[in-house]
């Protein structure tokens, strides 16, 4: 089976400074997801990258050998260089690299650049969340029940300042009444983008079997391996006209 090359990028600061986060994700959220993939998706070839790595861990070589880039960032979005953001967007638009924004990556620079809005949302205290599968026929919803529960998760609510998603796969209900579009797909250039809301650093979303399944499904969906048409050729129409 052909390997899918996944790079998991994590800000990786909370895990070093906050005891509660360290207890849940001792080697970082990115390493935790990698460990899950080793069990759930052995055909994934995973590279880890973080903010404090040289070039944020995303050298040209790493980006060129990434089928799907996953992103978790929270407090230090502004430390990601704009030049790198442009390179990431270019990989998505022209080469079909998949991009998966997790949780607070809704205001990460790459997500904002790729989808085209600021990604702002309503925010509230941690509470019970039900995630509803509103598009069961979508590949990312494969194996996911009608709904599942996260006992405690940070509340993200509408209005969520994103373009209308091309496909809305999950919606969430929060105990205090808020609703949220928690699983959104966007097509940008040749690339596929998925935003998924769970994943607060002091909660156990990444331990949940359905969250794990959704991330595996999302990587498979976003992988560019079946794109036959590569970068559009600007001289194409001229050739046709001749």
Q: What is the contact surface with Zn ion in residues (CB under 5 A)? A: 104, 154, 200
Closer to Zn ion by Cβ: residue 129 or 154: 154
DSSP labels, 151-181: EEEEEEES---SPPPSEEEEEEEETTS-EEE
Q: How far is the CB of 29 from Zn ion (least distance, A)?
A: 11
Which residue number places its CB atom closest to Zn ion? 200
CB 75 within 8 A of CB 13: yes
Spatial neighbors of 17 by CB under 8 A, at least 6 apart, are: none
How many Å is the Cα radius of gyration of the chain? 18
Q: How far is the CB of 173 from Zn ion (least distance, A)?
A: 18
Q: How far is the CB of 200 from Zn ion (least distance, A)?
A: 4
The two structure tokens encoding residue 87: 């390179």
Q: How far is the CB of 179 from Zn ion (least distance, A)?
A: 18
Closer to Zn ion by Cβ: residue 187 or 207: 207
CA 184-144-142 angle, 5° bins:
75
**Which helix H or strand E contains 16, and what residues bound it?**
helix 14-17
Q: How far is the CB of 128 from Zn ion (least distance, A)?
A: 16
What is d(CA 215, CA 207) in angstroms, rounded to the nearest whole number?
Answer: 12
The two structure tokens encoding residue 63: 């980006």
Q: How far is the CB of 62 from Zn ion (least distance, A)?
A: 26
Q: How far is the CB of 201 from Zn ion (least distance, A)?
A: 6
Closer to Zn ion by Cβ: residue 67 or 154: 154
Closer to Zn ion by Cβ: residue 50 or 104: 104
**What crossing angle do the helices spanning 209-222 and 29-40 adopt, rounded to 10°?**
80
Closer to Zn ion by Cβ: residue 119 or 189: 119
Closer to Zn ion by Cβ: residue 104 or 178: 104
Closer to Zn ion by Cβ: residue 104 or 213: 104
Q: How far is CA 110 from each of CA 3, 40, 222, 240, rounded to the nearest angstrom?
A: 25, 27, 16, 36
DSSP labels, 185-233: EEEETTEEEEEE----TTS-GGGSHHHHHHHHHHHHHH-GGG----S--
């Amino acid at each position: 089976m052909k390997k899918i090359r996944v790079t998991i990028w994590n800000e990786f600061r909370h895990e070093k400074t906050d005891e509660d986060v360290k207890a849940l994700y001792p080697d970082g959220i990115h390493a935790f997801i990698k460990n899950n993939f080793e069990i759930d998706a052995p055909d994934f070839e995973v590279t880890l990258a973080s903010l404090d790595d040289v070039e944020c861990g995303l050298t040209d070589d790493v980006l060129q050998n990434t089928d799907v880039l996953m992103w978790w960032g929270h407090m230090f979005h502004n430390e990601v260089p704009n030049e790198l953001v442009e390179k990431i967007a270019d990989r998505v638009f022209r080469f079909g690299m998949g991009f998966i924004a997790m949780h607070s990556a809704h205001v990460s620079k790459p997500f904002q650049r790729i989808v085209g809005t600021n990604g702002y949302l309503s925010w509230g205290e941690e509470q019970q969340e039900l995630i509803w599968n509103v598009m069961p026929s979508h590949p990312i919803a494969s194996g996911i029940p009608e709904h599942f529960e996260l006992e405690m998760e940070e509340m993200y609510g509408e209005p969520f300042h994103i373009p209308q998603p091309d496909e809305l796969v999950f919606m969430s209900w929060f105990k205090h009444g808020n609703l949220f579009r928690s699983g959104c797909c966007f097509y940008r250039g040749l690339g596929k983008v998925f935003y998924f809301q769970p994943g607060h650093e002091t909660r156990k979303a990444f331990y949940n079997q359905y969250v794990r399944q959704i991330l595996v499904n999302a990587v498979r969906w976003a992988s560019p391996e079946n794109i036959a048409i590569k970068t559009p050729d600007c001289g194409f129409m001229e050739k046709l006209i001749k």
